[in-house]
Amino acid sequence: MEYRQLGNSALKLSAITYGSFAIGGTMWGGTEKNDARKAILTSIDHGITTLDTAPFYGFGLSEALIGESIKDRDRSAIQILTKFGMVWDGSNNGKGDFMMDIDQDGKQYPIYKYASKANVMKEVEESLQRLRTDYIDLLQLHWPDSTTPIEETMEAMQLLIDQGKIRAAGVSNYNEVQMLKAQEHINLASNQVPYSMLKRQIEAKVIPAAVENHIGIIAYSPLERGLLTGKFFNGNALKSDDHRNGYFSQFDLDKVKSLLERIEPIAQEKGATLSQLVLKWTTLQKGVTVVLAGARNEEQAISNAGAVDIDLSNEELDQINQAVNSL
């Protein structure tokens, strides 16, 4: 595994980072807890020492599964990344930006983006308990909240750094203006943003601004929630409550299939899967520090870790880039 420094922080993260959205089950058709625990530990055993989670993922379940899974492991050898600012329990009293309604276990929950100082402090204490740890390596604002000044949110995170409860501060889903505004008030370690062969918008402004200002980029959804694994085109059915039924509709699926058919021979030549090739390509893109990859079982965890071992020549990279640029 390759390990990379995150921006100006002292953190070194695994180039492939474990993404735990799916194991939370919310919007993913549920989860199998035993498989999730095995996926977490197998990831760590294969060098993926960085675990990214959030309270929203399963309304605390994802964090709890990570905390339970690693309770007997060397905490100093694991980097925990979590978030705050997506409130579902009504504790925001209607404050913040309404985001969406989520159906969970037969009940509807209104989700708000809320990043007030008081809420940051509250959520961190809850996350520490679920994660069974006394510090978080990287705390990230999950989504921008237009009702809370950026400086108020950053002030809260700086206080948490001073208290030793977090080691570094990051944001997520920030554009370049918001990102640089946040950095005026804190040593901003990173911005976690969507990036894949199918979504490259951050190449225009976010990545150049991050590179110039030494801010790390954490790329999420590099496999577009499984679409770029190719399994969807091989008849793998999704559960009715799986959000990907709607998510995939934003893409021209014929073009996506054509892309995968063009790059699959390279994966086969390397003895790799399509998902491994896509992950490797993503780790090589300018400005990208680490790449999130979810795993719901041991097999997926091992596959993700193996992506970094693929050796691509300049000619092979050119072939992949030509296929990506043809979209």
Q: Amino acid identity of 267?
A: A
Q: Amino acid identity of 304?
A: N
Task: Exactly one of 18, 57, 112, 174 is catalytic; name it.
Answer: 57
Q: Strand pairing of 86-87 and 107-113?
A: antiparallel
Q: 25 - beta bridge partners? A: none
CA 4 to CA 6: how far, in whole Å?
Answer: 6
- What are residue 239's phi and psi, to 5 degrees? -65, 155
Helices (H), 31-116: 33-45, 61-69
Which region holds residue 47: left if phi is over 0, alpha if psi is between -120 and 50, else beta?
Answer: left
CA 223 to CA 196: how far, in whole Å?
Answer: 7
Q: 17 - beta bridge partners? A: 292
Using DSSP, how many helices (H) and how many strands (E) does the chain show? 12, 13
Of 133, 30, 154, residue with least CA distance to 84: 154
Q: Strand pairing of 86-87 and 50-52?
A: unpaired
User: Is the separation of the CB atoms in 95 and 145 below 8 Å?
Assistant: no
Instruction: Respond yes or no: is residue 57 known to be catalytic.
Output: yes
CA 193 to CA 203: how far, in whole Å?
Answer: 11
* 3-class SS string, 156-200: HHHHHHHHCCEEEEEEECCCHHHHHHHHCCCCEEEEEEECCCCCC
User: Is the separation of the CB atoms in 310 and 276 below 8 Å?
Assistant: yes
Tokens 């309404």: give the residue: 98
CA 167 to CA 314: how far, in whole Å?
Answer: 37
Q: Which residues are catalytic?
A: 57
